[in-house]
Amino acid sequence: KNQVEQSPQSLIILEGKNCTLQCNYTVSPFSNLRWYKQDTGRGPVSLTIMTFSENTKSNGRYTATLDADTKQSSLHITASQLSDSASYICVVSAHSGGGADGLTFGKGTHLIIQP
């Protein structure tokens, strides 16, 4: 069964500090891995998408890494800001012959930035 596990479940850090969120998956055959940011009461917004051949991708202060061998990804946030407070969701896409059920969502990491 395809699964995506995220850790930690929640995290509190001080403004200006860095943090790293983890995503482990057992999705096969792998197509791509996406990180989304979901603010409270809003829809998820795409941060990065990585395919098998990519092992790092940045979007401003967000840097995602992918190790397809160990089936692990991380999202590193640099110099955190109060606006980074949100849930971060890891989504892994499998090659499924075109079916949308190829997407497996993690439960997210709830990040709180304190001033």
Partner 1 sequence: DAMVIQNPRYQVTQFGKPVTLSCSQTLNHNVMYWYQQKSSQAPKLLFHYYDKDFNNEADTPDNFQSRRPNTSFCFLDIRSPGLGDAAMYLCATNRDLNQPQHFGDGTRLSIL
Distance CA 74, CA 43 (A): 21
Residue from 2, 13, 22, 31 touching partner 1 (CB under 8 A): that is: 31
Closer to partner 1 at the Cβ: 11 or 103?
103
Computed from CA positions of residues 38, 88, 73, 79, in that sequence, does the dihedral angle turn out positive or negative?
positive
Among the listed residues 113, 110, 36, 111, the one whose alpha carbon sits nearest the alpha carbon of residue 73: 36
109 binds partner 1 (CB under 8 A): no
CB 88 within 8 Å of CB 76 = no
Q: Counting contacts by CB under 8 A, is residue 106 touching partner 1?
A: yes
- Of the residues 21, 23, 24, 44, which one makes contact with partner 1 according to CB under 8 A: 44
Query: Which of 3/18 has CB closer to partner 1?
Result: 3
Alpha carbons within 13 A on the beta-carbon side of 61: 13
Binding positions for partner 1, rule: CB under 8 A = 31-32, 34, 36, 41-46, 49, 89, 93, 98-103, 105-108, 110
